[in-house]
Amino acid sequence: MYLSLVKKDFKIVLRGNLGILVAQMLFILIIISVNMGIVGYGVMVTAFGWQLLLSVSTEEKKSRSLALLIAMPYEKGKIITTRYVSPMLGFAGITLIYEGLALITNMNDFFIIKPLTYDVIAITMCAYALFISITVPLYLILSDSVVRGITIFLILGTVWIGYFLWNNINIRNSLLTMTFITNHFHIVCIIVSIISLVISRTISLQIFKKIEY
């Protein structure tokens, strides 16, 4: 069931939208990443997840394809899990593409596009997971136009707050003053990412259980 729903999600988002998605990613990459570094990476992954959820939501509201599944309480967990698998696969794909482009644009140790680090990926995943956990239930109870406005606000707000905190508080250097974290930094980042996924999925599922579809 999971695999078939994930395949369906990607078919929906790529069908007729591939050109727009590529143009959107290139625009973000050129305008934001070159000028603001890793902020462009966060915008890229969030924009893809947003486009995927929006496309799937629009299609499903037309066909009411999830109505019967959602009506059965034991299927809600499966729907939420699937709605996490699809965006997270997108997250992984965009991350690999971004890192590949960063390596390609490396000119004598000068990076036009800044390479990613463990902490950047972990922090971005935390914000992305929270974004997904809020967005998935909203698409089921509100019209797409309303959710579009709310999620754009969330994207811009998250990017601005993250950029401000990263540049003014210097979180990474503060964490690296702790010996254990310094020695196991990549492991800590992976653990934080996993915890953020579990927590955000739980939040989404709790909201989802209260929805009258």
Higher pLDDT, 144 or 70: 144
Question: Cβ(45)–Cβ(53) under 8 Å?
Answer: no
**In this model, does residue 141 exceed pLDDT 80?**
no
**pLDDT given for residue 169 in this prediction:** 54
Mean pLDDT along residues 132-147: 71
More confident residue, 175 or 82: 82
**What is the pLDDT confidence band of residue 92, given thresholds at 50, 70 and 90?**
confident
SS3 for 106? strand
pLDDT in tens, 102-119: 777 776 666 667 777 777
Secondary structure letter of residue 111 according to DSSP: E
pLDDT of residue 93: 85
Coil, helix or strand at residue 110: strand
Q: For residue 180, is pLDDT > 60?
A: no
As a whole number of angstroms, the longest Cα–Cα distance in the chain is 58
Tokens of 196: 């953020």
pLDDT value, residue 124: 78
Per-residue pLDDT reduced to its tens digit, 30-83: 665 555 566 677 777 877 887 787 777 777 666 665 554 555 555 666 666 777
Looking at per-residue pLDDT, the higher value among 123 and 20 belongs to 123
Q: Would you give the distance in Å from CA 187 to the centre of its chain?
A: 21
Average pLDDT over residues 11-32: 67
Token digits of residue 197: 């996924």
Q: What is the predicted pLDDT for the residue at 19?
A: 65
Q: In this structure, what token pair is assigned to residue 160?
A: 């601005």
Across the chain, mean pLDDT equals: 69
Residue ranges in 64-117 assigned as alpha helix (H): 67-71, 73-104
Q: Which residues contact 115 (CB under 8 A, 6 or more apart)?
A: 99, 102, 103
Calpha distance 181→189 (Å, rounded): 9
Q: What percent of the chain has pLDDT over 90?
A: 0
pLDDT at 85: 79
* pLDDT confidence of residue 107: 67
- pLDDT of res. 50: 78
What is the predicted pLDDT for the residue at 27? Answer: 64
pLDDT band, very low/low/confident/very high, at 153 (cuts 50, 70, 90): confident
